């Protein structure tokens, strides 16, 4: 939140240059805004609708071999850095991709590649379809098994089961899920940067980056940033009115037993649906692995630039994750303390502020915060010298919504049980932290830490602005190799980066699942 | 050593935002007083005011003649046992009791001896190293009582601590409380829904209704049929629907 506040500085900075900022509102800008909204809307539609069907199909067969595996696979995109996915999409559907031969044959002419809106859409759907499907599945699993028992007793067909049981469970989740997906697509930076390919398919985020790094037009950057903030803010406001929850969850409860047995054709349809989505999700992952293995991995591993980038990435991610965990813990603690002091009106307002504070971070994407600081610092210091600090802090704040989500339930439950007891026995301060809170929070904190670290490792937004030859992270290096058409190197790096992030996410999931007794 | 101290609420006013609660009542030192009344009449709030979890908006709380209105819970001469969550789940029986002596668990040899003795007195000898989840519901409350013993505070507040135990077990626990009270002469305020529990160990009864003390007096008078009318009504409806009410309460 402190960083979000400092972003106000960017507005101040830009205010002195109002005329320039106003001048920046030209037709090109309008087109950028329109494209930003358009691609986000399309991506949402293409992710959410199939996700509904896939979730329904998955929920209808609570146990078939491989179901658990599919669900785990669906959690993987959450872990993969966007740049890795972008590369995978290119190596699958790109001009020189694995499928280009087939596509050329089918189309009757040479496959033009997937740059532009189609590439963006494919990548966004890859990220968000599994996420949405998991969230919908979660919603479907809240249907008590008694309802299914009842439905089978009165011989309810699958159509009326959908209308009377499944849809009422899905509908409340719909605005939230769609909203989350829309937000993620609206603020997506890496995908658009790498797959957009040209001014026709540019979003605000990428335009900000270009204004700062290539054109060096601060006034324009300010205008774009303000627009982006306003846009996202409006969307979030609309979403919160719809009751959306802007944070995602990585774990699923166990599926309840189902008592309706679908008919033959439905089974085939559902199976096909699941298989199709599986292929769509697994494809880019397989491509990453295949292309990555094709690269000269041993040479890459020996390269000092790669080693240095790895070391930098890990060091920054470690710092960022620590910071994120500490900040989140502080936020959670403060929030709880406020909710206990229920009487004061100001307290309630503050509590709401901390609640939405974490959600607000999602509104203000890293590139915007980065841009704000970039503009602010440009006149006072060497922008590239502060790169590590910026990357650490901005990524830490970015991971906070997820970290808070991991920590808060455990902390609130523990506090519920312990608050009075601690007050009665006079356990407070360091004693309380060491004896009472730490044993309970160790695991959720580790989860938050691993999650934050994975996010920070994969982030390209901030480093794209602040990166230079002296400070390079893995995603930055990856982008550089892509830019100079060293695709094989890029593929190798992508495999490496993707693996590290995946391992971290798996660790986070495992830590989160085993509840302390 | 922890001879009882009188507890007094001197026109203590407290409100959650809805109807204000207004307590003006004194509890004699060294006695067991049952606090009874319908749900929502303010029984738990009364205990919370004495314990310091809530602060009255007006009026005073006096313990042993001292004004403790603004003291934090740990500085008041009281121990409290709740219906549940009396123990830290990740700490052993020993440590849970030891926390009653030192919040940092830095225990002297004398402290350890006291913990040992309290565990023996509450029938938990040999279970020092167990974790709360390895204990039965009754045993957990015994641990809480053992902690009360090592804390040696003159006032004991019991907020329906045995409500989730079966009848026989409840009687055992009540007898244990009565025994401890006889040894230490603590002032005990005991919130309960069960007339028979109150009858078993309480010498005095305070009956609450709508956030006020509706009646107070000797237990014999109350249960001898000479109690105030509101109390008779409360007890009567209790007796009539005793069993079903017991079941219904479990859900809350």
For A424-473, what is each residue's pLDDT tens digit? 888 877 777 777 888 888 877 887 888 788 878 877 777 777 766 667 77
The mean-pLDDT minimum among A140-144, A351-355, B126-130 falls in A351-355
A517 interfaces chain B, CB cutoff of 8 Å: yes
Task: Answer for the pair A451, A406: CB distance below 8 angstroms, yes or no.
Answer: yes
B58 and B17 share one domain: yes
Q: Higher confidence at residue A443 or residue A244?
A: A443
Q: Higher confidence at residue A42 or residue B242?
A: A42
The nearest alpha carbon in chain A to B81 belongs to A421
Q: In what order do the strands lie in the sheet with B32-36?
A: B78-81, B155-159, B187-191, B32-36, B204-209, B212-218
pLDDT of residue A407: 80
User: How many whole angstroms separate alpha carbon A396 and alpha carbon A4?
Assistant: 12
A324 and A459 share one domain: yes
**What's the average model confidence in pLDDT over A483-500?**
75
**Interface contacts A/B by beta carbons within 8 Å:** 54
Asked if residue B244 belongs to a domain, the reply is yes
Q: Higher confidence at residue A461 or residue A120?
A: A120
Last residue of a domain, one of B99, B124, B152: B152
Asked if residue A221 belongs to a domain, the reply is no
Q: How far is CA A434 from each of CA A437, B73, B103, rounded to the nearest angstrom?
A: 6, 21, 11
What residues of B are in contact with residue A437 (Cβ under 8 Å)?
Answer: none
pLDDT of residue B241: 39
Contact between chains at A424 and B74 (C-beta distance less than 8 A): yes
Contact between chains at A425 and B85 (C-beta distance less than 8 A): no
**Touching A: B residues 64-103, CB under 8 Å:** 72-75, 78-80, 82, 85-86, 88-91, 99-100, 103
Asked if residue A3 belongs to a domain, the reply is no
Last residue of a domain, one of A265, A294, A323: A294
User: How many whole angstroms separate alpha carbon A374 and alpha carbon A367?
Assistant: 10
Asked if residue B2 belongs to a domain, the reply is no
Residue B116 CB-density burial (10 A; 0-12 exposed, 13-18 middle, 19+ buried): middle
Contact between chains at B103 and A426 (C-beta distance less than 8 A): yes
B118 and B163 share one domain: no
Contact between chains at A420 and B82 (C-beta distance less than 8 A): yes
A68 and A161 share one domain: yes
Asked if residue B82 belongs to a domain, the reply is no
Asked if residue A381 belongs to a domain, the reply is yes
Contact between chains at B103 and A517 (C-beta distance less than 8 A): no
Contact between chains at A517 and B99 (C-beta distance less than 8 A): no
Note the pLDDT tens digit of each residue in B60-76: 999 988 898 888 888 88
Read off the DSSP letter of residue A115.
Answer: T
Portion of chain A with pLDDT greater than 70, in percent: 69
The mean-pLDDT minimum among A113-117, A169-173, B211-215 falls in A113-117
A436 interfaces chain B, CB cutoff of 8 Å: yes
Note the pLDDT tens digit of each residue in A14-33: 444 444 455 555 667 777 77
What residues of B are in contact with residue A414 (Cβ under 8 Å)?
Answer: none
pLDDT above 70: residue A112: no
Last residue of a domain, one of B152, B169, B190: B152
Asked if residue A321 belongs to a domain, the reply is yes
pLDDT of residue B158: 92
Give the nearest partner residue to B74 out of A426, A436, A516, using CB atoms: A426
B44 interfaces chain A, CB cutoff of 8 Å: no
Q: Where are the alpha helices (DSSP H) in chain B?
A: 43-51, 93-98, 109-121, 137-151, 167-184, 195-201, 219-221, 229-240, 242-250
CA distance A425 to chain B (A): 5
pLDDT above 60: residue A359: no
**What's the average model confidence in pLDDT over A461-486?**
74
CATH code assigned at B71: 3.40.50.300
**What's the average model confidence in pLDDT over A321-349?**
71
A283 and A318 share one domain: no
In whole numbers, what is the pLDDT of chain A averaged over residues? 72
At A515, the pLDDT band (50, 70, 90 cuts) reads very low
Q: How far is CA A183 from each of CA A44, A180, A499, rounded to the nearest angstrom?
A: 9, 5, 26
Domain count, chain B: 2
Contact between chains at A420 and B105 (C-beta distance less than 8 A): no
Contact between chains at A424 and B104 (C-beta distance less than 8 A): no
B44, B78, B87, B104: which to substitute to probe chain A, counting the most A Cβ within 10 Å? B104
pLDDT of residue B188: 93
Q: Where are the alpha helices (DSSP H) in A243-386?
A: 264-294, 297-302, 304-340, 345-363, 366-378
Give the nearest partner residue to B103 out of A418, A420, A427, using CB atoms: A427
What residues of A are in contact with residue B91 (Cβ under 8 Å)?
Answer: 435
What residues of B are in contact with residue A427 (Cβ under 8 Å)?
Answer: 74, 99, 103
User: How many whole angstroms separate alpha carbon A139 and alpha carbon B109?
Assistant: 56
Contact between chains at A516 and B90 (C-beta distance less than 8 A): yes
Asked if residue B183 belongs to a domain, the reply is yes
Task: Answer for the pair A474, A310: CB distance below 8 angstroms, yes or no.
Answer: yes
pLDDT of residue A494: 78
**What's the average model confidence in pLDDT over A271-283?**
76
B72 and B165 share one domain: yes
Residues in chain A: 517
Portion of chain A with pLDDT greater than 90, in percent: 0
Give the nearest partner residue to A431 out of B82, B103, B133, using CB atoms: B103
Range of the domain at B129: 87-152
A472 and A382 share one domain: yes
Task: Answer for the pair A17, A225: CB distance below 8 angstroms, yes or no.
Answer: no
Q: Higher confidence at residue A224 or residue B152?
A: B152
Q: Hey, how many other C-beta atoms are within 10 angstroms of the C-beta on A344?
A: 11
pLDDT of residue A253: 42
Asked if residue A237 belongs to a domain, the reply is no
pLDDT of residue A361: 53
A188 and A273 share one domain: yes
pLDDT of residue B35: 93
A468 interfaces chain B, CB cutoff of 8 Å: no
Asked if residue B136 belongs to a domain, the reply is yes
pLDDT above 80: residue A97: no
pLDDT of residue A94: 66
Contact between chains at A517 and B73 (C-beta distance less than 8 A): no
Asked if residue A210 belongs to a domain, the reply is no
pLDDT of residue A296: 67
B128 and B222 share one domain: no
**What's the average model confidence in pLDDT over A232-259?**
56
A253 and A371 share one domain: no
Q: Where are the alpha helices (DSSP H) in A379-485?
A: 387-425, 429-431, 438-458, 461-466, 474-483
Q: Higher confidence at residue B107 or residue A278?
A: B107
pLDDT above 60: residue A360: no
B99, B102, B135, B156: which to substitute to probe chain A, counting the most A Cβ within 10 Å? B99
pLDDT (tens place) for every residue of chain B, 252 residues total: 456 788 888 888 888 766 788 898 989 888 999 999 888 888 888 998 998 888 888 889 999 888 988 888 888 899 999 888 888 888 889 988 988 888 888 889 999 999 999 999 888 888 889 988 888 888 999 999 999 999 888 999 999 888 888 888 888 899 999 999 988 889 999 998 888 888 888 989 999 988 888 888 888 888 877 777 788 888 775 443 344 444 444 444
Q: Higher confidence at residue A256 or residue A183?
A: A183
Give the nearest partner residue to B88 out of A420, A431, A436, using CB atoms: A436
A420 and A503 share one domain: yes
Give the nearest partner residue to A424 out of B51, B88, B105, using CB atoms: B51
B105 and B210 share one domain: no
pTM of the model: 0.69
Highest mean pLDDT among A51-65, A85-99, B25-39, B225-239: B25-39
Q: Higher confidence at residue A63 or residue A330?
A: A330
Range of the domain at A163: 34-202+244-294
What residues of A are in contact with residue B72 (Cβ under 8 Å)?
Answer: 423, 426
* Nearest residue to A29 via CA among A208, A149, A293, A263: A208
């Amino acid at each position: 939140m402190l960083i979000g506040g400092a972003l106000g500085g960017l507005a101040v900075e830009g205010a002195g240059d109002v005329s320039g900022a106003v001048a920046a509102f030209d037709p090109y800008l309008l087109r950028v805004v329109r494209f930003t909204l358009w691609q986000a809307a399309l991506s949402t539609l293409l992710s959410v609708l199939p996700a509904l069907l896939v979730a329904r199909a998955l929920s209808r067969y609570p146990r078939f071999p491989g179901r658990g595996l599919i669900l785990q696979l669906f959690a993987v995109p959450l872990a993969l850095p966007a740049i890795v996915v972008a590369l995978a999409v290119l190596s699958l559907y790109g001009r020189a991709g694995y499928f280009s031969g087939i596509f050329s044959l089918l189309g009757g002419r040479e496959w033009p590649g997937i740059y532009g809106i189609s590439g963006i859409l494919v990548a966004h759907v890859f990220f968000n379809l599994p996420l949405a499907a998991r969230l919908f599945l979660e919603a479907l699993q809240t249907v008590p098994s008694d309802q299914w028992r009842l439905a089978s007793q009165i011989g309810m067909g699958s159509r009326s089961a959908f209308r009377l049981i499944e849809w009422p469970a899905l509908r409340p989740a719909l605005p939230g899920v769609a909203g989350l997906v829309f937000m993620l697509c609206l603020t997506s930076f890496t995908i658009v940067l790498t797959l957009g390919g040209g001014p026709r398919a540019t979003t605000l985020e990428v335009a900000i980056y270009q204004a700062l790094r290539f054109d060096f037009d601060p006034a324009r950057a300010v205008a774009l940033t303000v627009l982006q903030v306003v846009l996202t803010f409006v969307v979030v406001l609309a979403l919160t009115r719809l009751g959306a929850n802007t944070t995602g969850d990585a774990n699923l409860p166990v599926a309840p037993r189902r008592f309706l047995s679908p008919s033959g054709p439905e089974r085939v349809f559902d199976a096909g649906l699941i298989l199709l989505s599986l292929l769509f999700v697994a494809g880019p992952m397989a491509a990453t692995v295949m292309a990555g293995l094709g690269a000269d991995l041993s040479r890459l591993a020996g390269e000092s630039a790669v080693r240095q980038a790895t070391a930098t990435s890990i060091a920054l991610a470690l710092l960022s994750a620590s910071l994120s965990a500490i900040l989140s813990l502080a936020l959670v603690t403060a929030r709880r303390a406020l909710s206990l002091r229920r009487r004061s009106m100001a307290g309630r307002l503050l509590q709401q502020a901390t609640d939405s504070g974490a959600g607000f971070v999602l509104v203000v994407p890293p590139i915007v915060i980065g841009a704000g600081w970039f503009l602010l610092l440009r006149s006072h210091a060497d922008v590239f010298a502060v790169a590590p600090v910026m990357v650490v802090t901005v990524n830490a704040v970015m991971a906070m919504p997820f970290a808070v989500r991991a920590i808060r339930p455990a902390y609130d439950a523990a506090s519920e049980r312990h608050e009075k007891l601690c007050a009665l026995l006079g356990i407070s301060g360091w004693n309380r932290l060491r004896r009472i809170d730490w044993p309970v929070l160790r695991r959720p904190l580790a989860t938050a830490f691993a999650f934050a670290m994975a996010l920070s490792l994969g982030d390209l937004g901030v480093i794209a602005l602040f990166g230079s030859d002296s400070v390079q992270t893995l995603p930055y290096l990856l982008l550089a190799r892509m830019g100079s058409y060293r695709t094989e190197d890029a593929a190798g790096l992508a495999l490496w980066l993707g693996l590290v992030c995946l391992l971290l996410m798996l660790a986070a999931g495992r830590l989160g699942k085993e509840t302390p007794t | 050593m922890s001879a009882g101290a009188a507890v007094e609420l001197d026109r203590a006013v407290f409100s959650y935002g809805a109807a204000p609660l207004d307590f003006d009542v004194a509890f004699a030192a060294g006695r067991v007083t049952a606090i009874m009344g319908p749900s929502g009449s303010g029984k738990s709030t009364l205990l919370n005011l004495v314990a310091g979890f809530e602060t009255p908006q007006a009026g005073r709380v006096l313990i042993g003649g001292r004004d403790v209105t603004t003291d934090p819970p740990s500085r008041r001469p009281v121990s409290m046992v709740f219906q549940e969550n009396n123990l830290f789940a990740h700490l052993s029986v020993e440590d849970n009791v030891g926390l009653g002596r030192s919040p940092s668990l830095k225990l002297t040899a004398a402290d350890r001896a006291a913990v040992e003795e309290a565990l023996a007195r509450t029938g938990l000898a040999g279970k020092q190293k167990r974790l709360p989840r390895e204990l039965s519901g009754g045993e957990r409350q015994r641990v809480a009582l053992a902690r009360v013993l090592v804390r040696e505070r003159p006032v004991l507040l019991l907020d329906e601590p045995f409500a989730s135990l079966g009848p026989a077990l409840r009687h055992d626990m009540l007898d244990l409380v009565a025994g401890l009270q006889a040894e230490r002469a603590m002032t005990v305020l005991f919130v309960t829904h069960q007339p028979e529990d109150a009858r078993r160990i309480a010498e005095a009864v305070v009956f609450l209704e709508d956030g006020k003390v509706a009646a107070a007096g000797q237990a014999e008078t109350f249960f001898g049929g000479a109690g105030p009318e509101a109390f008779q009504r409360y007890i009567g409806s209790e007796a009539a629907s005793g069993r079903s009410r017991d079941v219904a309460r479990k859900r809350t």
